[in-house]
Amino acid sequence: MRFNQLAVVFMCFISASALCSEDEAVASVAITMDDSLSFSGKSPSLNLDGLGVWHITPVASAMAFSQTNPSSGAGDVSNAQLLIQKSEGDLQFFIQTGVYSVPVLGKPIVRTLSNTVDTYGYIPIASVSYILNKNWSVTAGKLASMGGYESTMTFQNLNIQRGLLWDQTSSVSYGTVVNYAKDDVSLAVTWNDGYYSNKMNWLGASGAYRLNDKESIGLSWVGSTSGNSQSNANTPLLQNNSQIMNVLYKYSGERWYFAPYLQYTVVPVNGAIGITSEYQTYGAAVLANYRFPGVTLTGIGPAKMSLPFRLEYIQENGGAANNVNSMLYGPDSSAISLTITPTIQFDGYFARAEGSVVRITNPEAGLGFGANDTKRSQFRMMLEVGLLY
């Protein structure tokens, strides 16, 4: 069954590419990308006359991993997607469709098809934007959530796996966002359903200021405005009733890229929905990338090489022992992680390896690593190869 589903996705991928022409290359894809990977800029397009020009961007990648505590390993498709967008005119849209894996530090890796079906489906993002003028726009639909730093898909980020701080934030929400940008200032306000809960009770705002050509700072806050008792894999009870604040600094120079940030989350007491204690998390992360000088691959041509890494620390305060609810690994637990992801990209083709370690302190019984949940550390090695057309 899994093979047949993957075959259908790849057939759609190939068919869509064959129907398109490369007469008009797309300058940028309407999706957040970090510093280490980029699209080839050769996305094919369809001119539909009165319906405008639609750009079709294929994404394909596969990954393999091996880990300790518990010891295991496997390989899988990590992305088989088509990004479809119309980015000209007053009315624009963006659709992301296909299958995807979302590996997370310290969490079991879920098979790609299971992850797709059990999370956001075969169309994880679908939105329509109205451009009021050069400063204002409104976007509505199934959106990438506001809050935090890292994005959801592997190819969007410096590292293959999502981090410890990312795991406290939502990924996809139904809702709307109003954007304003002028000169060095950009602002956004959102109203959405938080952790994909289908209850529109989350409000959020973010702002960024460009200090100069290399530096910027940003703030964000998102949070629940009322209690919601829903609890499942997509909508965890505690996180879906939380308030999340982030402070971010970015530096991008000729060789170095830095993005350190601080995160604070709080979940207030709400006995009516089963939250009998206040929970808090304090987190800090440094994401960085070193870009090597240009290299040339023999017989191939110029390539980009970089060395991204991420260092994180997060601590949970509050909560109650022997409680099924926890923000991390139990009351007053903490975790630290280090991830290193050497990366090479030629045109739209890329390959990257990754080594990571997570170390937890003071885990509650049953919330540690290993077959018996008694281990306090986990090492994981990963490899991802793919195409960003």
pLDDT of residue 231: 93
pLDDT of residue 352: 98
Tokens read off for 386: 């793919």
First-last CA distance in the chain: 28
Top pLDDT among 289 and 365 is at 289
Angle, CA 241 vertex, CA 238 and CA 247 arms, to 5°: 95
Kindly tell me if the per-residue pLDDT of 234 is higher than 80: yes
- Residue-wise pLDDT tens digits, 309-354: 999 999 999 877 666 688 999 889 999 999 999 999 998 999 999 9
CA distance 273 to 224: 13
For the chain, list the strands marked E by DSSP. Answer: 45-47, 53-67, 72-86, 91-100, 125-131, 136-144, 172-182, 185-192, 202-210, 215-224, 243-252, 256-267, 279-291, 295-297, 301-318, 334-340, 343-346, 349-361, 377-388
pLDDT of residue 322: 66
Alpha-carbon dihedral of residues 360, 363, 369, 373, nearest 10 degrees?
A: 170
By the 8 A CB rule, do 56 and 84 touch? yes
By the 8 A CB rule, do 258 and 251 touch? yes
Alpha-carbon dihedral of residues 86, 116, 324, 318, nearest 10 degrees?
A: -30
- Residue-wise pLDDT tens digits, 36-80: 999 988 888 888 887 888 999 999 999 999 999 999 999 999 999
For the chain, what is the mean pLDDT?
90
φ, ψ for residue 381, nearest 5 deg: -110, 140
Q: Fold for 2-388, please state it.
A: Porin (2.40.160)
Kindly tell me if the per-residue pLDDT of 249 is higher than 90: yes
CA distance 152 to 217: 22
Tokens read off for 136: 């204002």
Tokens read off for 178: 């109003």
Structural domain boundaries of the chain? 2-388
- Residue-wise pLDDT tens digits, 150-203: 999 999 999 999 999 999 999 999 999 999 999 999 999 999 999 999 999 999
pLDDT of residue 50: 77
Instruction: Please count the helices (runs of H) and the strands (runs of E) in the chain.
Output: 3, 19
Give the pTM: 0.90
pLDDT of residue 181: 96
Average pLDDT over residues 356-383: 92
303: which residues sit within 8 A by CB, 6+ positions away?
294, 295, 296, 297, 344, 345, 346
pLDDT of residue 22: 41
Tokens read off for 104: 């997370």
pLDDT of residue 120: 97
CA distance 203 to 180: 17
pLDDT confidence bin for 3, thresholds 50/70/90: very low
**313 closest CA partner among 251, 261, 253, 365:** 261
